[in-house]
């Protein structure tokens, strides 16, 4: 599906996530978002709550803290990088291709790297200049931030200052691809700590 550069990039993303459905309806829901999905998570959680889902936790993983700012506002140095990658159709190449050989160094398995590279679509440049609203969520939704190393330390500190549960797991930005088992176990442990119970809520990713 082709998306115009001036189209809303948040609403369709939320609808696509909702179309996946919950793995086991009726279980408590934990919403987890990595990297650029982070600022959108409160909107997704708000939508899930509106339709009656029991969202108990929201976890941003190694991404930007949802503060309402556009990407180029919170990361002004990236504006020039994005402009240098801009295609004639006002789209950017798929994000893994922005970094050249760095992705090869992070995801060393050829098959896994192939899957990561080929699931990423071109992205309209304008999206990065659009802010993302941050609805106020009820206190019943526990909030957490999981960092992989120091890359998003500033966002982790923002989350900590906002009263979120924070944790750092040693790894690169795509650690959930390289070590999915340990990352999933860490997420479940974070939820258990926040909720103070041993129940195992359903986990979905975004």
End-of-domain residue from the set 101, 131, 161: 131
Residue 138 sits in the same domain as residue 59: yes
Neighbours of 11 (CB within 10 A): 11
Cα 117 to Cα 43, 100, 112, 120: the distances in Å are 27, 11, 9, 6
Question: Which of 95, 172, 101, 176 lies closest to 128, judged by CA?
Answer: 95
Question: Are residue 4 and residue 32 in the same domain, yes or no?
Answer: yes
- Domain span at residue 102 reads 70-131
Same domain, residue pair 117 and 94: yes
Residue 56: give its domain's CATH number. Answer: 3.40.50
**64 and 139 fall within a common domain:** yes
Q: Is residue 43 domain-shared with residue 141, that is, in the same domain?
A: yes
pLDDT tens profile 98-134: 887 878 888 888 888 888 888 888 989 988 888 889 9
Q: Is 127 exposed, middle or buried (0-12, 13-18, 19+ CB in 10 A)?
A: buried
* Residues 17, 119 within the same domain: no
| Whether residues 8 and 47 fall in one domain | yes
- In this structure, are 190 and 142 located in the same domain? yes
Q: Mark whether 83 and 123 lie in a shared domain.
A: yes
Is there a single domain that holds both residue 112 and residue 150? no
SS3 label, residue 205? strand
Write the CB contacts of 43 (distance below 8 Å, at least 6 apart in sequence).
10, 14, 132, 133, 134, 135
Q: Is the pLDDT of residue 3 over 50?
A: no
Q: Is 194 found in the same domain as 139?
A: yes
Please give the model's pTM, rounded to 2 decimal places.
0.86
pLDDT tens by residue, 39-73: 999 999 999 999 999 999 999 999 999 999 998 88
- The pLDDT of residue 187: 96
Interval 190-199: pLDDT, tens: 999 998 853 4
Q: Are residues 143 and 206 in the same domain?
A: yes
């Amino acid at each position: 599906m082709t998306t115009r550069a001036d189209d809303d990039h948040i609403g369709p993303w939320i609808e696509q996530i909702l179309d996946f459905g919950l793995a086991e309806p009726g279980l408590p829901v934990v919403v987890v978002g990595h990297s650029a999905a982070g600022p959108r998570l409160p909107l997704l959680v708000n939508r899930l709550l509106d339709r009656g889902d029991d969202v108990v936790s929201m976890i941003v993983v190694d991404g930007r803290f949802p503060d309402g700012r556009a990407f180029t506002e919170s990361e002004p140095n990236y504006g020039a990088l994005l402009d240098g990658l801009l295609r004639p159709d006002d789209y950017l190449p798929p994000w893994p291709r922005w970094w050249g050989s760095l992705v090869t160094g992070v995801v060393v398995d050829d098959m896994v790297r192939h899957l990561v590279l080929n699931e990423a679509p071109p992205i309209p440049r304008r999206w990065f200049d659009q802010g993302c609203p941050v609805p106020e969520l009820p206190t019943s939704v526990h909030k957490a931030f999981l960092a992989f190393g120091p890359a998003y330390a500033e966002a982790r500190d923002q989350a900590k200052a906002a009263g979120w549960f924070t944790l750092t797991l040693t790894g690169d930005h795509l650690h959930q691809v390289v070590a999915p088992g340990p990352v999933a176990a860490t997420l479940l442990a974070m939820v258990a700590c926040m909720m103070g119970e041993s129940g195992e809520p359903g986990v979905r990713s975004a």
